[in-house]
Amino acid sequence: MKMEICHQLGRNFRCAKESQTQDGTGEGLILAPRYMERKTVRALPLSLKQKSIFDPQFFVPDVARGSLATYDFFPCLCNDIDECSRKCVNFQLHNNFRYIVIPTQFEEGMQTGFIERQLERFINPFLNAIANIGTNKDVLLQLVVTREMLIDKDEKGRPRFPNKLLNIITGIRRISGVYLIFDHHYTSQQIKNIGFLTAALRFINGFAIENEMDVILGYLNTEAILYSITGPKIVTIGSMSATRKFKVKHFEKKEEGEGGFPQARSRIYFPTLLQWITPSRVAEIAQKMADQRGFFGPREYQSVVTRHPQERKKVYLHHLLAFSRQLRIIGDLEGKERFLRVRTMMEKAVENFALMDSRDIELNPDNNGSHLKKWLKVAREFGKKQGWE
């Protein structure tokens, strides 16, 4: 199955829309009502909405933060969950989005009764609303899976909570796919925990390959390339760090006297390294790696990267174009062929870091390639289980 790309929208959604329309960097959008008023969403071209997914963002249902307050179906603005689910389903149908999304409420860690609460709060009421309204449109169930949930194992070392979640969700006939978000808490630029990554591949695979369900992976950073080997239908790209890593604090109640969130530190994406580099190191890399053709990515934005790395908007556009091109290359492949291409991309990135090291370019742990060998290990173990390695 061909893998598609959607832009994960956030505060800087206009930049993502420009990239999608101007540079052709994705099939559609995952819309963010936290930052987009209802009238803004409704005004989008129908042709774009048909390719896009509306994320209700009910993560903190008792707080209608930001533009969420413009949606009359947000839980704290409704009399009850039946009204909320009916209005939300109708909104998605009237705008003719690609799927109907059943939202989820975020829960920290791994708490007893999580699945039962999700069924009561949103899954069953939304399924009832869908049945009562009557529609054949495909339904996605949104899930925010925490690190604690994902790595939970029984006394024999087998996945416990993930398997329970898989069994329940795959048993609900009306649900044709899942919109997965991982809340991993890691502070490093790239995820380096082998146990987490192994569990993530196994969990995605359980839906995508073993049960042939549509899997949409949200809030992804560069690990989208690694996750692609599990056969997701859609992976996301984001212009800002807040759209590449899920943080529930963006949806929680703002405390009195609390300022806005600090602007994320600008970084430059190097597709040849599968890594982000701080702008202060770009000039040295440009000088010492000048003989390496294509090292900096798309020529359309290369001058910005090498000469003006502080131009934030163009740096965003560079990343979206460079990363989407990588994803399209592997997205056109399937199964073993995709796996082999991903493995080659990682191996080449390791070689490029070694070349930089030989030219005395020193990078800190958030800029270097320390994640790549771990990703290769995880990918190869997955590939062996699929008979690809």
On whether both 243 and 355 belong to a single domain, the answer is no
- 22-31, 123-132, 377-386: which range is least confident on average? 22-31
The pTM for the full model equals 0.95
On whether both 177 and 272 belong to a single domain, the answer is no
- 177-181, 203-207, 275-279, 296-300: which range is least confident on average? 296-300
On whether both 336 and 368 belong to a single domain, the answer is yes
pLDDT band at 262 (very low <50, low <70, confident <90, very high): low
Residue 67 lies in a domain: yes
pLDDT of residue 316: 87
On whether both 310 and 337 belong to a single domain, the answer is yes
Percent of the chain having pLDDT more than 70?
A: 95
DSSP conformational letter for 2:
-
Residue 335: which domain range?
Answer: 268-386
Maximum Cα–Cα distance for the chain, whole Å?
A: 66
Residue 255 lies in a domain: no
269: β partners? 276
pLDDT tens string 192-226: 999 999 999 999 999 999 999 999 999 999 999 99
pLDDT of residue 318: 87
Residue 194 lies in a domain: yes
Closest among 285, 263, 260, 284 to 272, alpha carbons compared: 285
Residue 259 lies in a domain: no
Residue 266 CB-density burial (10 A; 0-12 exposed, 13-18 middle, 19+ buried):
middle
Closest among 143, 284, 268, 162 to 217, alpha carbons compared: 143
Whether residue 263 is predicted with pLDDT greater than 70 in this model: the reply is: no
